Amino acid sequence: MVTEYVLRKLEEILGAANVYASPAQVKAYECDGYVAFKSLPGAVVFPESTEDVSRILKLLSEERVPYVARGAGTGLTGGATPTRGDVVISLAKMDRLLSLDLDNHRAVVQPGFVNLELTKRVSGRSFYYAPDPSSQSVCTIGGNFAENAGGSHCLKYGVTTNHVTAATVVLPDGEIVELGSSFGDADGLDLLGLFVGSEGTLGIATEITVKILKKPQAVQTIMALFDRVEDASASVSGFIAEGIIPAACEMMDQLAMQAVDKSRYHVGYPSDVEAVLIVEVDGLEASVRALSQRVMDVCLKNGVREVRSAKSEEERALWWSSRKMAFPAIGRISPDYMVQDGVIPRSRLADVLKRIESISQTSGLRIANVFHAGDGNLHPLICYDSKKGETEIAQDVGRQILELCVDVGGSITGEHGVGIEKIVEMQYQFTQEELALQQAIRDQLDPKGLCNAGKLIPTPSRCMEMKGVAHPTVSSMEQILSASASVQTHIAR
Amino acid sequence: MSTQIEAMVRQTSFPFADAPDPAKFSVCVHCGFCLEVCPTYQEESNESHSPRGRVYLIKLASEGLIPLDEGVVSPVETCLDCRACESVCPSGVQVGALIEEARGQVYLARVENKKASGIQKLFLRGIFPYPARLHALGSLLRFYQRSGMQRIVRGTGLLRVLPDAMREMEGVMPEISAQRALTTLPERIPVAQPKRSVGLFTGCVMDVFFSQINEATARVLTKNHIEVHVPKRQLCCGALHVHAGDREQARQLAKTNIDVFLEEGVERIIINAAGCGAALKEYPELFKDDPVWHEKAVDFSARVRDISELLVEENFEKPKGRVERRVTYHDACHLCHAQGIRKEPRAILQSIPGVTLVPLPDSERCCGSAGIYNLTHPEMAGNLLERKMDDLPETIDAVVMGNPGCMLQLRLGVKKRQQDLDVLHTVELLDASYQKEGVTYGN
């Protein structure tokens, strides 16, 4: 509960202008990019420094008030959604680039600093920041840190954890700690690695040191249109078998192409191809030319209908926009959509896509597919209409797809995290013992269970609840969340 | 009770006709890709003052989940209606139209509660709809400037009692045009072997403050063998009314304009003010529930062209007179975001011998003018103007744009910083170049 006392204290720390408490002010914060679950925050606060965050967490810890950190609110699994009247700690005003060390390829940013903004700030000197989630024009590096965000180019360059070298983190009791080291591996246990991707459940990062890279000398982007998904999949396996590591290797199916072609980012895809591959190779001028030829050869060997490389920077940018805007463009063909984020072994692509198609047919919901084909990271976009009461069917379809991913040897998340959305599937992925171990680590750092509680790891009580419910509906989700809240309060005592 | 039945029982918080259209907000998928281009979000980092937040709150109010109180009014009123969000939205949400519809509800609720502000009513209902009164106001201002009153007022410190924003605007008010072009231009300016006939929409702010731009527009058109009609019964386009939520008055104005221009039988309707252009192109939005007028509005809107758009469409004659200028181009929101016009004005500027076009960083970010936003929200408008002034390249001698509101705002910026910089309309430079090669006025 956010009491009057807590509000007054928060205002003392941050000033009244940085504390929103009335329902009218906080309503827009009841969900992030995942809209299937909503719940009103107790307050929304805007710290501007590490010290602010530390003072807030000390207060909330003492008063046993739950809280959740939020960046741009573009997350797709409800990671920044309050679940029990939490205080939403918006980091949107902590958006400064603190320092830049071009000689040593390092930048230090506050968590609310926007991903693409970093590339913009250093591109004049031929540098860039490699992790590039589709939402990079708006998502924050703090959010990327929490979710261990990936992106189109993580096939070659790795995900966020490969680019964060150090961080200042405020622990749930308000203590400020430095994790990692700007250069070289930190000694001892890799605690920084533990924090990256912990979905804001272990503390709040307030200063993040990341690597910035020198832009490759040359880039070539290739578009390949396939009559059959199987041929596109075979080409992806073909690149890897040939020893080519593309900088990016993305696939979209016909429904996704249709949606994005209806948007501003119109490419004009043929309406009778089943799949398009967008492949990028980069490196030295000479090698790029040879590599792109090899990529095209592999496509030709696998029955591509048409393959060519971008003729201009403008065309290349359009192709990439078409891929990156594909998720929200689904709004053009469906009132609501839910995006899934499963990972499978690359060799199983064609097979898994067929099975997703049959799930789609059984459920009656259309599913568009957009994914990082190179690393087997699927993003099935489940189209539904919440007004027709299809939300629960969509959630069930999502669950079936994730279980399928686990069944073929993959996992339930590549880059979007677990949040609220996939918390039940965590039990499909992990045994009780494994989950208990994760919970034990979390309890060490957040013994009172206040820090983005109810996310990522299902509590034991939830596991039992789950056995009685095939899948959490929104209303059962509410019961479960409140049940786990009481358990956690109990543990805390 | 099932959620569907609940929804049916719930009362919407938008009780008046012409409410925000559910088909428009249901398109939003809540991705948030619009946040970073929104000037008010950039300034305040407040989700409620972002396009996604605003659309969401409008949706909740429409569904009766929140009341029509400050939680909706403030987000809807702080919006600049700049449409930058629409330029990036992958899903195609018409945020501007939703905001305008929501403002219609706020306006009607205030009228019902007798809370509409006196000044707003005076301008929207009492002056803009009447060309004669607008002209009289212009004459009064002109008298004020010419008679020495302005000097006296400025000297006595009387201005100190005016609100800051008004005082600032007073300081940059350009010399009021002696005569409105609507009055001085002939009803029809014939040309030999006309390629086309067009109707010139002269606008209010444009014609009161910058009638020379309307004259330049007419000259440029005739130079390109286009016959210009200036229908004398045309009225204010109604953009300011739509922005302020007075949709009924806007409809009245629109009906007259539609009739006047359609009766004139012109192929194109030409406008040189971005804000008016967007409003004229969006007339059909005002008549969603009126099939007869909707059809006429669609016919009318299909003929509307911004002057830069028409010139490029008609493959305008390349100017030959040298104009030695180093300029940058600012994209007026209602030109780039609302009408998608970006390349055309630049193509015109680059065609002029002697003109060097220097890129303006973030040229599509609002300057803070936004209709009368700089008067209603001076602080936000001031911050945005500061950012715009910071962005202007150092080496230029003029900043060019296609909207009178932006021109007034940028002049304020130039004056505040005491910069030696001209604020010009695209057409003025083209006209200057044509003039240098010797152009005759009409035939």
What secondary structure does DSSP assign to B299-347, as a single string?
A: HHHHHEEEHHHHHHHTTPPPP-S---EEEEE---HHHHTTT---HHHHH
The pLDDT value recorded for residue B154 is 57
Residue bearing the bigger pLDDT, B288 or B137: B288
Q: Is the dihedral of CA A453, A455, A458, A464 positive or negative?
A: positive
Q: How far apart are the two ends of chain B, measured CA to CA in Å? A: 75
Cβ-nearest to B36 among A138, A262, A332: A138
The pLDDT value recorded for residue B205 is 87
Answer yes or no: do B45 and A263 touch at CB < 8 A.
no
Between the alpha carbon of residue B251 and those of residues A72, B77, B230, B293, the distances in Å are 39, 21, 21, 10
Residue bearing the bigger pLDDT, A374 or B271: B271
- Chain A nearest-CA residue for B37: A138
Chain B CB contacts of A335 under 8 Å are 26-27
Closest residue by Cα to residue B200 from B226, B218, B216, B223 = B218
CATH of residue B88's domain is 1.10.1060.10
Chain A CB contacts of B3 under 8 Å are 389
Give the Cα separation of A350 and B59 in Å (integer): 40
Using one digit for the tens of pLDDT, what is the confidence trace for B344-401? 999 999 999 999 999 999 999 999 998 778 778 889 999 999 999 999 999 999 999 9
Does an H or E element contain A190, and which? none
| Token representation of residue B49 | 């003052």
A363 touches chain B (CB under 8 A): no
Chain A CB contacts of B7 under 8 Å are 387
| Token representation of residue A118 | 């970093």
A440 touches chain B (CB under 8 A): no
In this predicted structure, the answer to whether residue A53 has a pLDDT above a threshold of 80 is yes
Among the candidates B113, B144, B165, a domain finishes at B113
What is A4-90's CATH number, 3.20.20.150, 3.30.750.24, 3.10.20.30, 3.30.43.10?
A: 3.30.43.10
Give the Cα separation of A367 and A378 in Å (integer): 12
Query: Phi and psi for B328 in degrees, rounded to 5?
Result: -125, 160
Enumerate the β-bridge partners of residue A164.
A210
- Chain A nearest-CA residue for B86: A264
Length of chain B: 443
Q: What is the largest CA-CA distance in chain B?
A: 78
In this predicted structure, the answer to whether residue A375 has a pLDDT above a threshold of 50 is yes
Per-residue 3-state assignment (H helix, E strand, C coil) for B20-35: CCHHHHCCCCCCCCCH
The pLDDT value recorded for residue A469 is 41
Report chain A's mean pLDDT, rounded to a whole number: 92
Chain B CB contacts of A73 under 8 Å are 32, 35, 47
| CATH C-level class of A100-214 | alpha beta
Answer yes or no: do A137 and B29 touch at CB < 8 A.
no
Residue A201: partners with Cβ closer than 8 Å, 6 or more residues away: A442, A446, A451, A452, A453, A455, A456, A457
Answer yes or no: do B71 and A262 touch at CB < 8 A.
no
As separate numbers, helices (DSSP H) first and strands (DSSP E) second, chain B gives: 26, 9
A387 touches chain B (CB under 8 A): yes
Structural domain count of chain B = 2
Burial of B147 (0-12, 13-18, 19+ CB in 10 A): exposed
Enumerate the β-bridge partners of residue B400.
B329, B424
Using one digit for the tens of pLDDT, what is the confidence trace for A115-172? 999 999 999 999 999 999 999 999 999 999 999 999 999 999 999 999 999 999 999 9
Give the Cα separation of B68 and B61 in Å (integer): 6
Tell me the mean pLDDT in the region A14-21: 97
Chain centroid to CA B159: how far?
28
The pLDDT value recorded for residue B442 is 43
Report chain B's mean pLDDT, rounded to a whole number: 89
Residue B158: partners with Cβ closer than 8 Å, 6 or more residues away: none
* Confidence class for position B7, pLDDT limits 50, 70, 90: low
Give the Cα separation of B302 and B258 in Å (integer): 12
Residue labelled with tokens 């924003």: B165
Between the alpha carbon of residue A28 and those of residues B61, B90, B231, B269, B304, the distances in Å are 12, 21, 47, 41, 38
Domain-located, residue B401 = yes
Enumerate the β-bridge partners of residue A176.
A170
Enumerate the β-bridge partners of residue A166.
A180, A209
Using one digit for the tens of pLDDT, what is the confidence trace for A58-94? 999 999 999 999 999 999 999 999 999 999 999 999 9
Enumerate the β-bridge partners of residue B226.
B196
- Chain A nearest-CA residue for B27: A331
In this predicted structure, the answer to whether residue A56 has a pLDDT above a threshold of 70 is yes
Answer yes or no: do A27 and B57 touch at CB < 8 A.
yes
Q: What is the largest CA-CA distance in chain A?
A: 70
Domain-located, residue B370 = yes
Answer yes or no: do B71 and A25 touch at CB < 8 A.
yes
A454 touches chain B (CB under 8 A): no
Tell me the mean pLDDT in the region B94-121: 84
Q: ipTM of the assembly?
A: 0.91
In this predicted structure, the answer to whether residue A52 has a pLDDT above a threshold of 80 is yes
Between the alpha carbon of residue A3 and those of residues A126, A297, A455, B342, the distances in Å are 51, 66, 24, 52
Give the Cα separation of B142 and B123 in Å (integer): 18
CATH of residue B404's domain is 3.40.50
Among the candidates B63, B94, B113, a domain finishes at B113
Residue bearing the bigger pLDDT, B11 or B279: B279
Cβ-nearest to B32 among A72, A93, A260: A72
Which of B4, B29, B85 to mutate against chain A (most A CBs within 10 Å)?
B29
Answer yes or no: do B31 and A260 touch at CB < 8 A.
no
Q: Contact at 8 Å (CB) between B7 and B63?
A: yes
Chain A CB contacts of B88 under 8 Å are 137, 264
The pLDDT value recorded for residue B378 is 87
What B42-45 contacts at long range (C-beta under 8 Å, 24+ apart), as own/partner pairs, is B43/B380, B43/B383, B43/B384, B45/A46, B45/A90, B45/A92, B45/A93, B45/A95, B45/A112
Cβ-nearest to A337 among B26, B29, B66: B29
Amino acid at B109: A
Give the Cα separation of B117 and B105 in Å (integer): 15
Instruction: Tell me the nearest-neighbour CA distance from B34 into chain A, angstroms.
Output: 8
* Confidence class for position A483, pLDDT limits 50, 70, 90: very low
In this predicted structure, the answer to whether residue A22 has a pLDDT above a threshold of 70 is yes
Chain B CB contacts of A35 under 8 Å are 29-30
Mark A152-173 as b/e (b = at least 16 C-beta within 10 Å).
bbbbbbebbbebbbbbbbbbbb
Q: Contact at 8 Å (CB) between A441 and A172?
A: no
* Confidence class for position A108, pLDDT limits 50, 70, 90: very high
The pLDDT value recorded for residue B111 is 84
Does an H or E element contain B268, and which? strand B268-271
The pLDDT value recorded for residue A472 is 45
Q: Contact at 8 Å (CB) between B270 and B198?
A: yes
In this predicted structure, the answer to whether residue B334 has a pLDDT above a threshold of 50 is yes
| Token representation of residue B222 | 């005739």
Q: What is the DSSP letter of B440?
A: -
Q: What is the DSSP letter of A333?
A: T
Enumerate the β-bridge partners of residue A411.
A343
Between the alpha carbon of residue A21 and those of residues A44, B51, B164, the distances in Å are 7, 21, 31
Using one digit for the tens of pLDDT, what is the confidence trace for A442-478? 999 999 999 999 999 997 644 444 444 444 444 444 5
Among the candidates B89, B113, B137, a domain finishes at B113
B278: number of CA atoms within 13 Å, CB side? Answer: 26
Chain A CB contacts of B59 under 8 Å are none
The pLDDT value recorded for residue A468 is 40
Give the Cα separation of B443 and B438 in Å (integer): 13
Give the Cα separation of A25 and A29 in Å (integer): 9
The pLDDT value recorded for residue A281 is 97
Using one digit for the tens of pLDDT, what is the confidence trace for A210-263? 999 999 999 999 999 999 999 999 999 999 999 999 999 999 999 999 999 999
Using one digit for the tens of pLDDT, what is the confidence trace for B234-271? 999 999 899 989 999 999 999 999 999 999 999 999 99
Instruction: Tell me the nearest-neighbour CA distance from A133 into chain B, angstroms.
Output: 12
Q: Report the percent of chain B where pLDDT is more than 90.
A: 76
Show which residues on chain B lie within 8 Å of chain A, measured between beta carbons. Answer: 2-4, 7, 26-36, 45, 47-48, 50, 52-53, 56-57, 60, 66, 69-72, 74-75, 87-93
In this predicted structure, the answer to whether residue B167 has a pLDDT above a threshold of 70 is no
Q: Contact at 8 Å (CB) between A145 and A205?
A: yes
- Chain A nearest-CA residue for B24: A335
Between the alpha carbon of residue A378 and those of residues A154, A228, A341, A348, B408, the distances in Å are 14, 17, 6, 11, 52
Q: Contact at 8 Å (CB) between A328 and B31?
A: yes
In this predicted structure, the answer to whether residue A407 has a pLDDT above a threshold of 90 is yes
The pLDDT value recorded for residue B163 is 56
Tell me the mean pLDDT in the region A260-270: 94
A212 touches chain B (CB under 8 A): no
Instruction: Tell me the nearest-neighbour CA distance from B29 into chain A, angstroms.
Output: 6
Residue bearing the bigger pLDDT, A275 or A335: A275
Answer yes or no: do A137 and B27 touch at CB < 8 A.
no
Crossing angle of the two packed helices B95-112 and B247-264, in degrees rounded to 10: 120
Residue bearing the bigger pLDDT, B119 or A77: A77
The pLDDT value recorded for residue B160 is 54
Give the Cα separation of B103 and B57 in Å (integer): 13
In this predicted structure, the answer to whether residue A484 has a pLDDT above a threshold of 70 is no
Crossing angle of the two packed helices B164-172 and B404-416, in degrees rounded to 10: 100
Give the Cα separation of A123 and A449 in Å (integer): 42
| CATH C-level class of A218-408 | alpha beta
The pLDDT value recorded for residue A347 is 86
The pLDDT value recorded for residue A236 is 94
The pLDDT value recorded for residue B374 is 79
The pLDDT value recorded for residue B403 is 97
Q: Report the percent of chain A where pLDDT is more than 90.
A: 87
Q: How do the domains of chain A map onto residue ranges?
A: 4-90, 100-214, 218-408
Cβ-nearest to A329 among B7, B53, B91: B91
Q: What's the CA angle centered on A138, arms A79 and A249, to 5 degrees?
A: 85
Chain B CB contacts of A263 under 8 Å are 90-92
Closest residue by Cα to residue B49 from A88, A140, A24 = A24
Cα torsion B113, B116, B121, B123 to 10°: value is -170
* Confidence class for position B161, pLDDT limits 50, 70, 90: low
The pLDDT value recorded for residue A473 is 47
Answer yes or no: do B90 and A137 touch at CB < 8 A.
no
Highest mean pLDDT among A334-343, A360-369, B104-113: A360-369
Chain A CB contacts of B87 under 8 Å are 264
The pLDDT value recorded for residue A428 is 95
Give the Cα separation of A476 and A423 in Å (integer): 13
Which residues span the domain enclosing B21?
11-113
Q: Contact at 8 Å (CB) between B433 and B323?
A: yes
